[in-house]
Amino acid sequence: DVKVTQSSRYLVKRTGEKVFLECVQDMDHENMFWYRQDPGLGLRLIYFSYDVKMKEKGDIPEGYSVSREKKERFSLILESASTNQTSMYLCASSFGDRGRDTQYFGPGTRLTVL
Amino acid sequence: AQTVTQSQPEMSVQEAETVTLSCTYDTSESDYYLFWYKQPPSRQMILVIRQEAYKQQNATENRFSVNFQKAAKSFSLKISDSQLGDAAMYFCAYRTPGGGADGLTFGKGTHLIIQP
């Protein structure tokens, strides 16, 4: 089974802090994604990566950055957390055939910024 | 830009009955993929079913089936013999192949309640 793990299920941070959300997948997938989920808005794509050290902006990249130093790990970084970044963050991964392949999701990290 | 619309924020069904969740999408592409994902209260998003646009046959996975109407850009999910474990948020999603590892475009979700 594909396994996507995220470093924390719940996280509480203060405004202005630098926040790291980690995601690891164990299936040698090329593609990795970070989504944000908010009630009534569904999931929105923040960033994605199709290879090590490669990254592309999604629909809502403002206030976020990412890092992919190893194929299995994709980090989401909030340089200076703000209260409007309180949300559920979901990581996903998929194999190389773009579009065709199923995305597998992690359990999510519920981030609260005070 | 592609959009996905789920017009039912919440649906309720009696256990053992059949329920249909609606999804429409807007695209100018002819080749794409459609998905239904389930997110139970534990929050792990799970793929329920997928459909390739070039296939006319509707996808089926056990009690889950889709009604894919390409011309109408409609992709509804039918759950037969509803079970308590089907209670979850259901998200319809769209994706085009090629051109990079673009993410999925999601609808806003339908909250499915199963009445015992």
Q: Does B107 touch chain A (CB under 8 A)?
A: yes
One-letter identity of residue A33: F
Percentage helix, strand, coil, to 5, in chain A? Answer: 5, 50, 45
pLDDT band at B116; cut points 50, 70, 90: very high
Question: How near does any CA of chain A get to the CA of B100, in Å?
Answer: 6
Q: Looking at per-residue confidence, does B56 or A14 come out higher?
A: A14
Q: How many CB atoms lie within 10 A of CB B22?
A: 17
Question: How near does any CA of chain B get to the CA of A64, in Å?
Answer: 16
Indicate if the pLDDT at residue B83 is higher than 80. Answer: yes
Q: Does B98 touch chain A (CB under 8 A)?
A: yes
B102 chain-A contacts, CB cut-off 8 A: 45, 48, 98-99
Compute the distance between CA of residue A51 and CA of residue A31 in angstroms, rounded to an integer. Answer: 7
Q: Does A107 touch chain B (CB under 8 A)?
A: yes
Mean pLDDT of chain A: 92
Q: Does B113 touch chain A (CB under 8 A)?
A: no
Domain coordinates in residue numbering, chain A: 4-95
CB contact under 8 A, A88 and B35: no
Res A81: pLDDT:
97
Report all structural domains of chain B as residue ranges with CATH numbers, in order of start. 3-115 (2.60.40.10)
Q: Looking at per-residue confidence, does A23 or A98 come out higher?
A: A23
Res A12: pLDDT:
97
Q: A4-95 falls under which CATH superfamily?
A: Immunoglobulins (2.60.40.10)
- Give residue-wise pLDDT tens across range B1-59: 678 999 999 999 999 999 999 999 998 888 888 999 999 987 789 999 999 888 889 99
